[in-house]
Amino acid sequence: MSPKPYTHRDAVPYRPIDWTGIHPPAFPKGAVPGHVAIVMDGNGRWAKRRGLKRTEGHAAGEEALFDTVEGALEIGLPWMTVYAFSTENWRRPLDEVRFLMTFNESLLLRRREDLHERGVRVRFIGRRSGRVPGRLRRRIEETEALTAKNRRMTLTFAFNYGGRAELVDAVRALAGEVAAGKVAPNKIDEKAIARHLYRPDMPDPDLLVRTSGEFRISNYLLWELAYSELYFTDVLWPDFRRKHLFEAIRDFQDRDRRYGAIEGEED
């Protein structure tokens, strides 16, 4: 008789998310950033350390995500964007890619009603054509439509996303307008490019959080991160919780953001 296969439920105590057990810190008024972007990194290493398949690390990351979302809601964070699947992730083993496509579809089906009830608007950025399965695209469209009028928080999933791809798509759209005579080349400026990004109304992140001890941004929000504060933690994503988000925001509060100016002067 073959042994029972291990899952992430064998590695850690598995429980439904407790939305009420942790009280957020009393941040001073205006101290919470307007937009936090997160690179959810370390799922594979988390699984490897426990003798599990990489896919079990991705599955375990679900609790991390939604505990972090709840923490964001508790402190009144209006925008949060998470890096769910990059344009480079297609290079991973086929079974892992298939798992991620199926997992993200099932995640939306499981979680979208709960997010909707909590007033969360769910959005996606990235390329939806090409290799993204049709069923997953439909779940994305359904979830966006369901939550479109919510304004308590906007949770954006960067899926099949690359910062360079976003800029290429923006420039292509602008080039088409120039060719059609709608825009003069000498009128193209930063605002013109920003209007053609995937979500022009999305504010630039104030803070980028990356887990797992890596010190890079990995082709994530290249345009939008121009003046973002960067915070790196050794915590692997499946172990990340709202308390770690609060720690990142406390660190953010000590930063001096000058946007190219010097202290006491405006840019």
**Catalytic positions:** 41, 89
Asked whether 227 and 257 are in contact (CB, 8 A), the reply is yes
Alpha-carbon dihedral angle through residues 153, 43, 111, 8, given to the nearest 10 degrees: -150
**HSE on the CB side for 140, CA within 13 Å?**
23
Spell out where 87-171 has E strands.
120-125, 153-161
Distance CA 190, CA 176 (A): 17
Closest to 41 (Cα-Cα) out of 218, 193, 179, 164: 218
Please report, for residues 4, 13, 85, 90, the alpha-carbon distance to residue 47 in angstroms, rounded to integers and kept in the order given. Answer: 17, 14, 18, 20
Identify residue 6 by its one-letter amino acid code: Y
d(CA 25, CA 250): 9
